[in-house]
Structure 1
Amino acid sequence: MGLFRFMLLTFVALTSATILQNGQIRPTNYPDTAIAAISASELGWRAYSPDARELSYKGRWDHQYISWWSAPGLKFGFQAQQIAISFGNYTSDGVLLAYRIDGQDWQLTNVTANSTHLFITPETTGYNLTQPANATQTFELRVTNWAYGVQIQCVHAYGPEARLVHIPNYTRTIELIGDSLSAGQYATLEGISSYSWGLLYGLGNAEFSITAYPGICLHDSRCYGNLHGQTYQWLKIPDTSGRALEIYGDGPGIPSWDFAAHPAADITIINIGTNDNNTANNITASEYHDSYIQLINEIHARWPASQIIVISLWGGFGQVGNTWVQGGGFVDTIQDVVRYFNNGSLNERGGQGFVHYFNTTGILEHNDIGPLYHPTDVGHVKLASHLMQYIRLTFGWLLEQSGPEVQHETLYWNDEADY
């Protein structure tokens, strides 16, 4: 074996399970939660099938309990000493999950297909913390990646009279439709580092779904390996990933999302068009305009009361003289779409129409964009914060999240004054 090939294989082996942070390897010594399979007859354990009413699925999952899109999750209450989950064969190998009890900080662990993982024991941080004995606590997990997913096979509860408890859904719901910028591509922890996550989880007391996937266009066209655009794919359960093609193919077998079986979104946020605007995909402004109108009509037909926020494309930054200037994409076209639904009004704040225009100009600066043209973690936080205030001011939503960690591993500070 040549030296170059040896070095290449060594690099691949090293990076296949790493997170690169500004080009340096971030420590990922996450706990190994894998345990031996739990048999149905094992003493002390109670098994819940994936269709148990106690389980609440967040985001889009199919009838086989396979997760799709960005940051899908599972949530339930429990009264038990231990909680374990068995994952089916459609679970991606090594997919990174975030999980926690109640409002404790997120914990991270890698899971794989046909495995069982122990998430909660009496030693878990937050277990029965300031709670009376046998009180119901909440368990939640989220898939961090946008291309990988899990399949829930069984949830196990251990202990005397161990049981799971259904946690009612929040009364308000938000949907976010987008591409890689919204899915969290190149953010440190991807889906749970994205502005979408920071905004939707950060608002608090709201159910949400992030139907975003890298490289996808708005117009129904092949874009960067995606066979369809969001005018088609948003109506389906799965995303446009390779595993979706493997399971469902590209044809009539792709299951549609049952909108009637799920709460309507009170607010729908759309941030898409960067891929349409790339000359590599050869989509005209007219096609983009008509597809945007088509998507909004599809949304309004299913959720007539949903307020829609259209986000302007911020593009990248180019150096002009001795400073940096933000680029854009389809600026006039997007504004024309908003006016189409609002009797000629741009409707940037409130107004008579149901389509609202959110102008991103000035929120991000050139050092908020990483080397691969996507926001840094700081850029994502800035965008989420501005959108949060926009929703508060425009729709009167109170910001009800007050304490629990939203974006994990962002706690940085300086205690050194002498430098």
Structure 2
Amino acid sequence: MKVLSLCALVSLVSRCTATIYENGHERETHFVNTRIPSLGTNDTEWTTYGPNATELSYKGRWDDKHISWWAAPGLKFAFTGESVAITFGPHTTNTVLVAYRTAGLDWQLSNITTNATHQFVSPSTPGLNATLPSQLPLTFELRVTNWAYGVQINAVHLAKGEKLIKVPEFSRRIEFIGDSLQSGYGAVYEALSGFGYTVGAGLGSTEFSITAYPGICLHDANCWGNPRGQTYQFFRTSDTSPRAAALYNSTPPLYDFSSQPTKTDLVIIMIGTNDNNTANPVRGDSYYRSYLSFVPELHTTFPSADIVIMNLWGNFVRQGNTWVQQPKFIDEIRKVYDVLKGEGYPVHFFDTKGILQHNDMGPTFHPTDAGHLKIAAHLIRWINVMFGWELDATGPEVQHETTYWNDQVNY
């Protein structure tokens, strides 16, 4: 979040604050200052693991330098003891906001400093002293909240003599493909508040990647500063961010899909809003042809996956005394589905019509947190009914800080 730069100026205090607006009012934030003095390689107070330790599970897209890309990438592992710290490398975006949690406790948020060590778990971590013996060993999870910024993992540190433990992968997996709508642009905690993350985490027992970036087109064209479209970029490890361009220039590496330990069961695509914009050089027929060629490539990449095509809800405009939805590429997307559903592999259509109303959209024409939750709730239930997936997220929070309520019951 660009609004988080204030935290870099107050790194000596225990909490960082930033300006997030909620319904036009400044929202109070509590970002924990987790930075500690850097640890030497021979520090006697810690046991240190390298970033390629087999006990570490990287979620989403990461490259061979352990740099994160795209939306809401994460890191997960179990550990013994009561201390966890991570050293972040030079390719970490300074002040990038990450969410982290231990076991089933709520997310906490912290701004990360480039080339620094941050301690996320200590004996004083709230709730840690309430851990039951049956809940050991504890798990630790970290997610980058943004879609353009990222971290580089240099080392993971535990208390002296303690050990990392591999967390088993879930047996089902979803690949989300999209643009700003999938990646949570304009939501309070960005990718962590977006419907892609909310579906993946809200189903429970599901691995997922969100290969989405604001402004990107499906068609391979320069759209809103993204030099390539998803028909090209999806198959690359890195996204189209300025930091990716600085590291890889115009030759981002191909992504090794075989590195994913769990086969992909669902591919959920919602993209085209940027193609359908006069600011970008894409026509409806180009979008249609690109979609028709893109899905077969996805089937080749994920041969056992069901592919879900979502239509585009568009924006809402006022007409007279009401609001009217203006969906985009209605005919093109429907034609893509009608052609591909007869190709011999499972292709499905998820209709977003009627899920959102005009007040579910924020000032940037993207869903609010409530809008993302509505989309996610409908899609989760559809997946449950269509594919028989059990809903296993039955306790720990998914979206952070959405417990709004009325404390006045009499008016």
Relative to the length of structure 1, the TM-score reads 0.92
CA distance in 2, matches of 1:353, 1:303: 11
Mapped pair 1:154 → 2:155: yes
How far apart are 1:135 and its partner, in Å?
2.8
CA distance in 2, matches of 1:256, 1:242: 18
Mapped pair 1:397 → 2:389: yes
Matched residue, 2:327 = 328
Matched residue, 1:69 = 70
How far apart are 1:133 and its partner, in Å?
9.1
Instruction: Give per-residue Cα distances to partners, 1:375-394, cap 9 Å, x unaligned.
Output: 01100000000000111111
CA distance in 2, matches of 1:17, 1:130: 32
Matched residue, 2:287 = 288
Q: Is the 8 A contact 1:128 1:137 kept in 2?
A: no
Matched residue, 1:347 = none
CA distance in 1, matches of 2:157, 2:212: 31
Matched residue, 1:243 = 243
How far apart are 1:25 and its partner, in Å?
2.5
How far apart are 1:317 and its partner, in Å?
0.7
How far apart are 1:134 and its partner, in Å?
9.7
Mapped pair 1:259 → 2:265: no
Q: Is the 8 A contact 1:97 1:111 kept in 2?
A: yes
What SS is found at the alignment partner of 2:323?
Answer: strand
Instruction: Give per-residue Cα distances to partners, 1:72-107, cap 9 Å, x unaligned.
Output: 000000002211000001000100010001111000
Matched residue, 1:79 = 80
Q: Is the 8 A contact 1:56 1:166 kept in 2?
A: yes
CA distance in 2, matches of 1:102, 1:290: 46
Alignment-mate amino acid for residue 267 of structure 1: L
How far apart are 1:71 and its partner, in Å?
0.4
Q: Which of 132-141 and 178-187 deviates more?
A: 132-141
Matched residue, 1:365 = 357
How far apart are 1:131 and its partner, in Å?
2.1
Matched residue, 1:143 = 144
Q: Is the 8 A contact 1:128 1:135 kept in 2?
A: no
CA distance in 1, matches of 2:22, 2:149: 20
Instruction: Give per-residue Cα distances to partners, 1:1-22, cap 9 Å, x unaligned.
Output: xxxxxxxxx9xx99x9432323
Matched residue, 1:376 = 368
Instruction: Give per-residue Cα distances to partners, 1:243-265, cap 9 Å, x unaligned.
Output: 000110113xx111001222331
How far apart are 1:302 and its partner, in Å?
1.2
Paired residues, number:
398
Matched residue, 1:110 = 111
How far apart are 1:242 and its partner, in Å?
0.3
1:43–1:274: structure 2 CA closer, same or farther, 3 Å change rule? same
Instruction: Give per-residue Cα distances to partners, 1:195-221, cap 9 Å, x unaligned.
Output: 111111100001000000000000000
Q: Is the 8 A contact 2:30 2:109 kept in 1?
A: no
Matched residue, 2:312 = 313
Mapped pair 1:406 → 2:407: no
Matched residue, 2:53 = 52
How far apart are 1:139 and its partner, in Å?
0.2
1:80–1:125: structure 2 CA closer, same or farther, 3 Å change rule? same
What SS is found at the alignment partner of 1:279?
Answer: coil
Matched residue, 1:5 = none
What SS is found at the alignment partner of 1:328?
Answer: strand
CA distance in 2, matches of 1:122, 1:404: 21
Matched residue, 2:298 = 299
Instruction: Give per-residue Cα distances to partners, 1:226-284, cap 9 Å, x unaligned.
Output: 00000000000000000000110113xx1110012223310000000000011111311
1:134–1:357: structure 2 CA closer, same or farther, 3 Å change rule? closer
CA distance in 1, matches of 2:108, 2:191: 15
Matched residue, 2:14 = none
Alignment-mate amino acid for residue 122 of structure 2: T
Matched residue, 2:225 = 225
List aligned pairs for 1:192-231, cutoff 5 A: 192-231=192-231
CA distance in 1, matches of 2:115, 2:134: 34
Alignment-mate amino acid for residue 85 of structure 1: I
When the two chains are superposed, the root-mean-square deviation of aligned CA atoms in Å is: 1.9
Alignment-mate amino acid for residue 217 of structure 1: C
- List alignment gaps of at least 5 residues for structure 2: 1-5, 11-16
Matched residue, 2:13 = none
Q: Is the 8 A contact 2:85 2:120 kept in 1?
A: yes
Alignment-mate amino acid for residue 121 of structure 2: I
Q: Is the 8 A contact 1:79 1:134 kept in 2?
A: no
CA distance in 2, matches of 1:365, 1:214: 22
CA distance in 2, matches of 1:145, 1:25: 20
1:354 to 346, 352, 366: 346
- List alignment gaps of at least 5 residues for structure 1: 1-9, 345-351
Matched residue, 1:186 = 186
How far apart are 1:126 and its partner, in Å?
2.9
Alignment-mate amino acid for residue 314 of structure 1: W
How far apart are 1:128 and its partner, in Å?
5.0
Q: Which of 127-136 and 80-89 deviates more?
A: 127-136
CA distance in 2, matches of 1:52, 1:320: 58
1:302–1:133: structure 2 CA closer, same or farther, 3 Å change rule? closer
Alignment-mate amino acid for residue 270 of structure 1: I
CA distance in 1, matches of 2:236, 2:214: 16
Alignment-mate amino acid for residue 261 of structure 1: S
Alignment-mate amino acid for residue 31 of structure 1: V
Alignment-mate amino acid for residue 144 of structure 1: T
